[in-house]
C-alpha cells in the first residue's frame, strides 16, 4: 500500500495539472499475438518500469485463462510483478467472453472463475480485489440482464470500472507485434506515430464530450491494454496526457468525480464508453469531430495479421 501511495502522491510535472486521468490496462498478463513467454515477460517488465519511473499509478485487469498451460507459473509471476510495483489488479473475467454470448448466469460464473489466482495474490499483498471491467465494455442486454449482472457484482464486492477515453489501442497492437516479429523497424515507427496521433485525437474528443455533458471536464478513466506497443510508447502517451493537462491518479481517486454518479440506463448490446452511455441516458449529443475509427490502413493491417496469425494469447 505504501508503494501505491507514493506513486499516487508524486507530481506528474513541476506544477500540478488541472485534470485527472486513471490509467487502466486490460487483458493481463498480456494482449499479444506473440507466444514466446520471454516476449510477454519483457513487455510487462518494461511497462511497469516506465510506470514507476514516471510515478504513475495503474490497475491491470486480468483474464486468468491466459495463465493456463505450460507457462502458468511465469504468467502468474507477471501478475505478481504488477503488485510488487505498487499497482492494483482487477477482474476482467476468466475467458474474456461477453454477457451477450454467455447469458447472465454463465457470465457471472466466468467472473467468479476469473478470480481464483488474482484474489489470493491481492490478499497476499494486503489488498482486496474490488474492481471489475466488462470485456468489450458489454455490460448486459436487455436492461433486466444488465441489472441482474450489476446486482451480482455488487453482492460479490465488485465495482465496475468505467471507461471515458478509448483509443482502440488493441487494433494497433497486433500489427505492431507483427512488425517486431518481421524486424520491420520502419513499420514499427509508422504504427507508433499513427497510434499516438489517433490517441491525441481521442483524448481531445473525450474532454470535449465531457464538457458537452457536464459543462466541464471530468476525471477520466483511460482504457489501454498490456501490450508491447504501450510499453514502447508509454513516455509519449504520458506526454499527450500532460499536453491535455491530465494528471495520472488512481482509479479510486478518479471515481470520486461526481460524474460517475450519473444515472446510466444504457442497455444495448454494443459496448460503448460511459460518455456515450450518459449521453444516451441524458438525451444529449456528443461532438462529431474526433469521433472516428482508427485509420483504414491500421484496420486493414489488423485484419490481415489477425487472419494470418492466431495464437492462444490473442484476445
Give the span between the Cα atoms of 56 and 80, in whole angstroms: 18
- Judge whether residue 150 has pLDDT over 90: yes
> Which is more confident, 190 or 17?
190
Domain that holds residue 291: 2-7+16-308
CATH number of the domain residue 223 falls in? 3.20.20.370
- Judge whether residue 235 has pLDDT over 50: yes
3-state secondary structure of 19: strand
DSSP H stretches of helix in 114-184: 118-124, 143-155, 169-181
Could you read off the pLDDT of 120-145 as tens digits, one per residue? 999 999 999 999 999 999 999 999 99
DSSP H stretches of helix in the chain: 2-9, 37-53, 72-84, 99-102, 104-113, 118-124, 143-155, 169-181, 185-214, 228-243, 251-254, 274-282, 296-308
pLDDT tier at 308, thresholds 50, 70, 90: confident
pLDDT tier at 224, thresholds 50, 70, 90: very high
The arithmetic mean of pLDDT across residues 165-174, rounded, is: 99
End-to-end alpha-carbon separation of the chain, Å?
31
3-state secondary structure of 50: helix
Give the span between the Cα atoms of 315 and 300, in whole angstroms: 17
Q: How many structural domains compose the chain?
A: 1
The number of angstroms, rounded, from the C-alpha of 21 to the middle of its chain's C-alpha atoms is: 12
Secondary structure (DSSP) of 65-118: GGG-STTHHHHHHHHHHHHHTT-EEEE--SS---HHHH-HHHHHHHHHHTTTTH
Report if residue 54 sits inside a domain: yes
- Judge whether residue 25 has pLDDT over 90: yes
Report if residue 125 sits inside a domain: yes
Give the span between the Cα atoms of 300 and 154, in whole angstroms: 40
pLDDT tier at 11, thresholds 50, 70, 90: very low
Q: How far is CA 47 from CA 32, 111, 300, in A?
A: 14, 26, 27
Report if residue 140 sits inside a domain: yes
What is the chain's mean pLDDT, rounded? 94
Within 13 Å, how many C-alpha atoms sit on residue 180's CB side? Answer: 17
- Judge whether residue 312 has pLDDT over 70: no
A 10 A CB-CB count for 165 gives: 27
Report if residue 315 sits inside a domain: no
Give the span between the Cα atoms of 205 and 217, in whole angstroms: 11
pLDDT of residue 9: 40
pLDDT of residue 17: 55
The arithmetic mean of pLDDT across residues 308-312, rounded, is: 59
pLDDT of residue 310: 55
Residue that has been written with the C-alpha cell 489517433 in this structure: 198
- Paired with 249 in beta bridges are 22
Report if residue 314 sits inside a domain: no
The arithmetic mean of pLDDT across residues 225-246, rounded, is: 99
pLDDT tier at 307, thresholds 50, 70, 90: confident
Report if residue 98 sits inside a domain: yes
Report if residue 185 sits inside a domain: yes
Percent of the chain with pLDDT strictly greater than 70: 92
Strand 246-249 and strand 220-225: the pairing is unpaired
pLDDT of residue 138: 99
- Paired with 159 in beta bridges are 131
313 DSSP assignment:
T
Report if residue 273 sits inside a domain: yes
pLDDT tier at 18, thresholds 50, 70, 90: confident
- Paired with 20 in beta bridges are 247
- Judge whether residue 225 has pLDDT over 60: yes
Amino acid at each position: 500500500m505504501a508503494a501505491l501511495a507514493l506513486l499516487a502522491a508524486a507530481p506528474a510535472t513541476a506544477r500540478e495539472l488541472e485534470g485527472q486521468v486513471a490509467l487502466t490496462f486490460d487483458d493481463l498478463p498480456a494482449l499479444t499475438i506473440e507466444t514466446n513467454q520471454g516476449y510477454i515477460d519483457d513487455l510487462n517488465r518494461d511497462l511497469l518500469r516506465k510506470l514507476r519511473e514516471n510515478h504513475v499509478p495503474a490497475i491491470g485487469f486480468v483474464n486468468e485463462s491466459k495463465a493456463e498451460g505450460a507457462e502458468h507459473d511465469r504468467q502468474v509471476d507477471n501478475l505478481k510483478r504488477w503488485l510488487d510495483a505498487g499497482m492494483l489488479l482487477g477482474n476482467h473475467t476468466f475467458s474474456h467472453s461477453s454477457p451477450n454470448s454467455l447469458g447472465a448466469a454463465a457470465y457471472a460464473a466466468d467472473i467468479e472463475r476469473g478470480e481464483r489466482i488474482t484474489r489470493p495474490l491481492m490478499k497476499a499483498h494486503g489488498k482486496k480485489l474490488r474492481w471489475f471491467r466488462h470485456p468489450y465494455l458489454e455490460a448486459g442486454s436487455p436492461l433486466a440482464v444488465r441489472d441482474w449482472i450489476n446486482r451480482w457484482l455488487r453482492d460479490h464486492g465488485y465495482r465496475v470500472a468505467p471507461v471515458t477515453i478509448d483509443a482502440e489501442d488493441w487494433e494497433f497492437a497486433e500489427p505492431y507485434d507483427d512488425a517486431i516479429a518481421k524486424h520491420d523497424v520502419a513499420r514499427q515507427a509508422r504504427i507508433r506515430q499513427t497510434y499516438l496521433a489517433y490517441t491525441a485525437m481521442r483524448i481531445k474528443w473525450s474532454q470535449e464530450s465531457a464538457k458537452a455533458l457536464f459543462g466541464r471536464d471530468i476525471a477520466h478513466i483511460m482504457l489501454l491494454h498490456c501490450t508491447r506497443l504501450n510499453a514502447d510508447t508509454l513516455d509519449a502517451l504520458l506526454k499527450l496526457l500532460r499536453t491535455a493537462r491530465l494528471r495520472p491518479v488512481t482509479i479510486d481517486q478518479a471515481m470520486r468525480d461526481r460524474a460517475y454518479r450519473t444515472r446510466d440506463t444504457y442497455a444495448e448490446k454494443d459496448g460503448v464508453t460511459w460518455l456515450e452511455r450518459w449521453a444516451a441516458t441524458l438525451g444529449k449529443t456528443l461532438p462529431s469531430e474526433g469521433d472516428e475509427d482508427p485509420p483504414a490502413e491500421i484496420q486493414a493491417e489488423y485484419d490481415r495479421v489477425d487472419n494470418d496469425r492466431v495464437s492462444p494469447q490473442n484476445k
